[in-house]
Homo-oligomer: A and B are copies of this chain.
Amino acid sequence: MPHLALLIRRLRSATQLGEDDIAAVRALPLQVKAVEPETPIALEGDRPHACCIIVNGFAYRSKLTESGKRQILSFHIPGDIPDLQSLVLKTMDHDLVTISAATLAFIDHADLSRLIDTHAAVARALWRETMVDAAMFRERILNLGVRSASARMAHLLVELRQRLAEVGLVEIDDKEYRFPITQSALADALGLSTVHVNRVLQEFRSQRVLDIRKNLVKLIDVEKVVAAGEFDPAYLHLIDNSRPG
C-alpha cells in the first residue's frame, strides 16, 4: 500500500479534490522511516522542518506540567498528520511520540508549502484537518470537564474505533480493535490515576460492557459503551461537506 493512501482517502472523503490535486499529493517527496515504540517525533520547543504522516502504528500528543504530570492530548492513527501545525506555527507547544513501533513518512515543510501555494483545494483540505483536530480537542474538553471517569473512558474508546473505521482499519461494526495502550497511558489521557482506571476497567469488564487485554480493545456491548460515553460522532464531521454549504 502506498504510504499516503490513508491520508488521501481521508482528504477525499471530506473535500472535493481534483485529479491534479491528488497527483500533486502523491508526487510529494517522502522520507520514510521505521521507528521504535516510544520514539519522540517532535518535542515541545522543537522547530521541525518536516511534517510526519503516520503510515503504520500509533502515536500520541502530550504535554507536561511543571510538576511533571503528563496529559495525553490525543491519540493518532495511520493516515493522520499529527504535527501539521509545525508547518504554520513553527515551534512545537507539545510532544509527539509514537506508541507502537511505527512507519512514518516525512514531508519537508518546503515541499508542503509549495503544494499548498499551488493547490488551493489541498490547502483547504488540510485546513479542514486542523479544524477537525480542534473539534476533537473540544470534545476532549467536554470529556474532562463534565463527564465521569467511566464516561470518559467509554467515550475515548468509541472515538478511537470510529476513527479507525473511517480509514478502513476496522470494519465499521467490528466490536474489537488492536490498540497498544497501557492503563497508565489511558490514565494520562483521561486525567485519572492508574489505580482508578484499573477499577473502572474492572467494573466495565464485570458488567460485560468492554474490556482491554493485551492491546486488544473489545467493546463487548457497543450500545452500552456508546451510551456510557454519551458518544455522538457529529463532532468528527465525517460527511459534513457532502451537503451543500
Contact = CB atoms under 8 A, between A and B. Distances in A.
Interface in A11-37: none
Given A65-B230, A66-B230, A130-B127, A146 B240 contact: no
Contacts of A234: 45, 91, 93
Query: Is chain A's interface secondary structure helix, strand, loop, or mixed overall?
Result: helix
A162 B223 CA distance: 44
A214 interface: no
Interface of A: 45, 47, 49, 61, 63, 65-67, 69-71, 73, 85, 88-91, 93-94, 109, 116-117, 120, 123-124, 126-128, 130-135, 137-142, 144-147, 188, 190-191, 230, 234-235, 237, 240-241, 243, 245
26 contacts: A45-B234, A47-B243, A69-B146, A70-B146, A71-B142, A85-B131, A85-B135, A89-B132, A89-B237, A89-B240, A89-B241, A90-B240, A90-B241, A90-B245, A91-B240, A93-B138, A93-B234, A93-B237, A116-B124, A126-B127, A130-B134, A133-B134, A134-B137, A140-B141, A144-B191, A146-B191
